[in-house]
Structure 1
Amino acid sequence: MELIALFLLVLSIAFTLYSLSYVSKTKPTKQKPELPPGSTGWPIIGETLEYIRLAKKNCIEKFIFDRQKKYSAKLFKTSYAGEKMVFFCSPEANRFMFANENKLIKAWWPRNISKIFKGSGKLSESKQKELASMRKNVSALFNQLNAMEKNVVIIDSLARNHLETHWIDCEEVAAHSLAKKYTLSISFRLMLNNVDSETVGELEKLFNCIMSGMFALPINIPGTKFNRAIKASKGIREKIEGIVRRRKIEILENNINESLDESKDLLSLLIMEKIKDNEEVIESEIADMILVYIVAAYDSTSTTITSIIKYLAELPQVYEEVHREQMEIANSRGHEEPLNLDDIKKMIYSWNVVSEVLRLQPTIAGPFREAITDFSFDGFLIPKGWKLHRAVHGTHKNAKYFPEPDKFDPSRFHGNKIVPYSYVPFGGGAHICPGREYARLQILVFIHYLVKTFRWEKVIPDEELIRDPILMPAKRLPIHLYPHQT
């Protein structure tokens, strides 16, 4: 009996061991997702210098494509601007970021930008909420139909005045400098209801200091670009705070029950909303928010206009088609009659040209985000606190989505031929840039009057666009003007 009992015990143990072995083979332990593939480069500086080197040559796509081939087509990790960062560079990755804004990821700015605009290394939660609220106001002011109808008339007047003041009777102009002057004057008019040319001229120099210091080495000592940018930002905020203070008094002394839809500028809209909600109007907070939006509109739109001027000078057949379309619109209305939204809708080919310019030369390389929590994408773990970068060049310059990607071809945008989320100069989804229509009006109105009045050629034939650190022509794009015979 003892032998039988021992035999049964051995048999039971063997069966148990076999069962455990079978379970372990058929149900493997779930492994934690791996971090995205890639290299963080050198200690501290990471791969920042390599990125900047290629950016100055305006070939950021090489930085991206080399790593896509080596690591992954959709994303890779690196170290940039002193941060562990994941570059998202595919339509699927773009879509994921748009869908998870403020869910898995949130806005983040490199330390330089945060310091220049807010005076500290990071944005507080309250500041984030203020910016989100302002985004809604910007969208309402610039994207609602009645607001756009008013804005196109205002922009029309400013565009004509700008050309008459700075272009007419000139044989040669620096296109980039004048484009910045034009977009800054529009921002001041529509955001602050200020058209004082002396104020605009005074602040233009300060804005240029900000742009040159945004991606400079973060050394805050007198004489550095970074230090000058911080001082310029402070000077602009003080100027805007004074405007906010005076406007608040004007609104309180008048009828504050006036409909918000009748507000003539962004500043009035923000102040009136605060008053109606019984919230304190803090001049410094409003000045901070308006400064961010003016900088965004000022540089991105002026750079796009400059790029368009460059390509129209280099591609006479494209210029002729834009000129033909714009003259048809001009000949259909009275000589002094301003453009309207119906005219803008007719500028189909011209907007295709703008779209192709934005594909080839996006004004920024893409926005930055921060992971709010751990999450997975494409089988890889993105840890909480890691920074993300939506790399626009990863799709804009990719032959998979845009055949012959270096060729200038406006016909790409005729019809619905674009792969969804591959063309993203204004972002996408629910968080598309609220200033998209605002930029569209500025660009198309200006191009209408420019091609109607002139043809031009580059003074420096081989002048190229560079990124130092933002997109710009190497020599301010001087052009020789040839007025059309009337």
Structure 2
Amino acid sequence: METFFIVLALVAATLTLALIAFASRLGKSKGKNLPPGSFGWPIVGETIEFLFGKPDKFVFDRMAKYSPDIFKTRILGEDTAVICGPNGHKFLFSNEQRYFTAFRPHSMQMIFRSHKKAAPPPGKEEEKILRSPGFLKPEALVRYLGKMDTITQQQMQSEWEGKREVRAYPLAKSLTLTLACRFFIGTDEPERIARLVDYFDDITLGLHSMTLNFPGTIFHKANKAAAAIRKELRAVIKDKKDAISSGAPMQDILSHIIVASDPSGKHMPEAEIADKIMGLLTAGYSTVATAMTFFMKYVGERPDIYKKVLDEQLEVAASKKSGELLEWDDINKMKYSWNVLNEVMRLTPPLQGTFREALTDFTYAGYTIPKGWKVYWTVSTTNKNPVYFPEPEKFDPSRYDDGNSFPAFTFVPFGGGPRMCPGKEYARLAILAFVHNVVRRFKWELVNPTEKIVGDMMPAPQNGLPVRLTRQ
């Protein structure tokens, strides 16, 4: 009984503090010309509808109700302005670090930041790591392309060949995690990667969730998965340090992070290294696998498009000697295949959107957004707008043919401006290497063409997209 009253008192105290913070935010915003919209319920705001009512529907409904340019809401514990349409995209991308800085929802911050050391603004340090040594520049990636091709071929031979039916999504996830582990941490041990796949699935689900950390919740599972991944990564870090000490070459991002020192000359703590690498692996895993999977879905429904992709890939293969791996020039010949993938990402964006934080009060579309508010932008406000994409639900790669163009900032699957996704070229190479290998080996048909798509911020086929394979 005593325990019950203690718990009840803690809950009451938490609610009281939350209500005080809620009232404080209202006071700070009072008198400002805020965008139209609703904050929803006290404390939880409109989070439940945002997460479980599909984020794109959430945005479209409010654009129709309040404004096609901007509206206010409260999601994931934050007062938020949702900026919509190509003008909103342009304004956001053009004002990075003037009005906006990177922001991760609290669920993401808590999952990726186990260490106690004070950290820079979420997302900035990881992006600095990727950009500064040039790991993701084309000239660096071209050296890795052959390895991508080799790993993809090995996965096809071991997991796809000889099977009448496979589930495309789990296999795509296994492939992309293998590629990410090889590129980011310099390992491709099959047993270790098999253990990591399920953990990363749990983390992906928890990235945009309510921070309820007790057994049975999505967030609790994500935290347990993060702890398990950190344990694996610390073992990798130890092995990597031993290899570096013995003079082994540094050919991966983990090695670079290990030897990089902070201004005081001390090496970064292992816990912090593990958190940063976990964030990078997550970024290089789920979104790439999603694009591969929905390529299989949409092309599996369209034999005419499959034939054009196959013809292009056979032409690329015919220009090479037997056994020769993919090179940069080969990727540049895959124009139709990339048009198909652009249409895949338009119809089913691997990631719905991202958040920023307002560095200062600013005005947009006649409304004031206060300093400290969060700003959410999403590709869906333009991707399925018939003004920019006629018959938006139709799968039509010809939209991207030479000579066709869209208004600026209407098609932004990788974002834009200074914070355009630094992994864009990495993703393009990984996905095109997959396309090159899968279409030359197999024809396929969907086992269940009406399979439900689930997931909120990151979509996934409910049953893993089973497909029937026919060997070429």
Please indicate, yes or no, whether the TM-score normalized by the shorter chain is above 0.5.
yes
Q: Which runs of 5+ in 2 are unaligned?
A: 1-30
Tell me how far apart the structure 2 counterparts of residues 228 and 347 of structure 1 sit (CA, whole Å). Answer: 40
Out of 446, 453, 466, which is 2:434 matched to?
446
Counterpart residue identity of residue 424, structure 2: R
Cα deviation, 1:272-298, whole Å, max 9, x if unaligned, reads 343999442322222111110100111
> Is 1:300 the counterpart of 2:293 in the alignment?
no
> Is 1:463 the counterpart of 2:451 in the alignment?
yes
Q: Which of structures 1 and 2 has the bigger CA Rg? A: 1
Equivalent residue number for residue 46 of structure 1: 45
> Is 1:117 the counterpart of 2:112 in the alignment?
yes
> Is 1:369 the counterpart of 2:350 in the alignment?
no
Task: Indicate if the aligned counterparts of 1:370 and 1:387 stay in contact, CA closer than 8 A.
Answer: yes
1:144 Cα shift? Answer: 3.6
List aligned pairs for 1:328-407, cutoff 5 A. 328-407=315-394
Cα deviation, 1:296-330, whole Å, max 9, x if unaligned, reads 11100001100000001111111111111111111
Counterpart residue identity of residue 358, structure 2: A
> Is 1:320 the counterpart of 2:314 in the alignment?
no
1:378 Cα shift? Answer: 1.8
What is the aligned-residue identity percentage? 39
Tell me how far apart the structure 1 counterparts of residues 262 and 222 of structure 2 sit (CA, whole Å). Answer: 33
Check 1:129–1:149 CA distance in 2 against 1; reply closer, same or farther (3 A cut). closer
List aligned pairs for 1:466-485, cutoff 5 A. 466-468=454-456, 470-484=458-472
Tell me how far apart the structure 1 counterparts of residues 424 and 60 of structure 2 sit (CA, whole Å). Answer: 28
Tell me whether 109-118 or 297-306 shows the greater mean CA deviation: 109-118
Counterpart residue identity of residue 118, structure 1: R
Counterpart residue identity of residue 359, structure 2: I
Check 1:126–1:73 CA distance in 2 against 1; reply closer, same or farther (3 A cut). closer
Tell me how far apart the structure 1 counterparts of residues 145 and 468 of structure 2 sit (CA, whole Å). Answer: 28
Tell me how far apart the structure 1 counterparts of residues 295 and 266 of structure 2 sit (CA, whole Å). Answer: 44
Q: Which runs of 5+ in 1 are unaligned?
A: 1-31, 256-261
Check 1:375–1:131 CA distance in 2 against 1; reply closer, same or farther (3 A cut). same
> Is 1:409 the counterpart of 2:399 in the alignment?
no
1:130 Cα shift? Answer: 2.6
> Is 1:434 the counterpart of 2:422 in the alignment?
yes
List aligned pairs for 1:3-402, cutoff 5 A. 34-55=33-54, 60-119=55-114, 124-125=119-120, 129-137=124-132, 140-145=134-139, 147-254=140-247, 263-274=250-261, 278-402=265-389
SS of structure 2 residue aligned to 1:141:
coil
1:64 Cα shift? Answer: 2.2
Tell me how far apart the structure 2 counterparts of residues 449 and 333 of structure 1 sit (CA, whole Å). Answer: 14
> Is 1:419 the counterpart of 2:414 in the alignment?
no
Tell me how far apart the structure 2 counterparts of residues 359 and 417 of structure 1 sit (CA, whole Å). Answer: 15
Task: Indicate if the aligned counterparts of 2:353 and 2:457 stay in contact, CA closer than 8 A.
Answer: no
Tell me whether 460-469 or 282-291 shows the greater mean CA deviation: 460-469
1:239 Cα shift? Answer: 1.8
1:90 Cα shift? Answer: 1.3
Cα deviation, 1:336-381, whole Å, max 9, x if unaligned, reads 1111111100000000000011111111110011112111112210
Counterpart residue identity of residue 35, structure 1: L
Counterpart residue identity of residue 40, structure 1: F
1:468 Cα shift? Answer: 4.5
Cα deviation, 1:45-103, whole Å, max 9, x if unaligned, reads 32233333431xxxx44332332233222111112222211111111111221122222
1:432 Cα shift? Answer: 1.0
Check 1:149–1:277 CA distance in 2 against 1; reply closer, same or farther (3 A cut). farther
Task: Indicate if the aligned counterparts of 2:294 and 2:348 stay in contact, CA closer than 8 A.
Answer: yes
TM-score by length of 2: 0.88
Counterpart residue identity of residue 75, structure 2: Y
Tell me how far apart the structure 2 counterparts of residues 70 and 422 of structure 1 sit (CA, whole Å). Answer: 21
Tell me how far apart the structure 2 counterparts of residues 296 and 244 of structure 1 sit (CA, whole Å). Answer: 19
Task: Indicate if the aligned counterparts of 2:104 and 2:123 stay in contact, CA closer than 8 A.
Answer: no
Task: Indicate if the aligned counterparts of 1:107 and 1:369 stay in contact, CA closer than 8 A.
Answer: yes
Tell me how far apart the structure 1 counterparts of residues 312 and 152 of structure 2 sit (CA, whole Å). Answer: 19
Check 1:247–1:330 CA distance in 2 against 1; reply closer, same or farther (3 A cut). same
1:122 Cα shift? Answer: 12
Tell me whether 446-455 or 220-229 shows the greater mean CA deviation: 220-229
1:108 Cα shift? Answer: 1.4
1:203 Cα shift? Answer: 1.4
Tell me how far apart the structure 2 counterparts of residues 185 and 334 of structure 1 sit (CA, whole Å). Answer: 26
SS of structure 2 residue aligned to 1:98:
helix
Cα deviation, 1:157-180, whole Å, max 9, x if unaligned, reads 000000000000000101000000
Counterpart residue identity of residue 450, structure 2: D
Tell me how far apart the structure 1 counterparts of residues 357 and 204 of structure 2 sit (CA, whole Å). Answer: 23
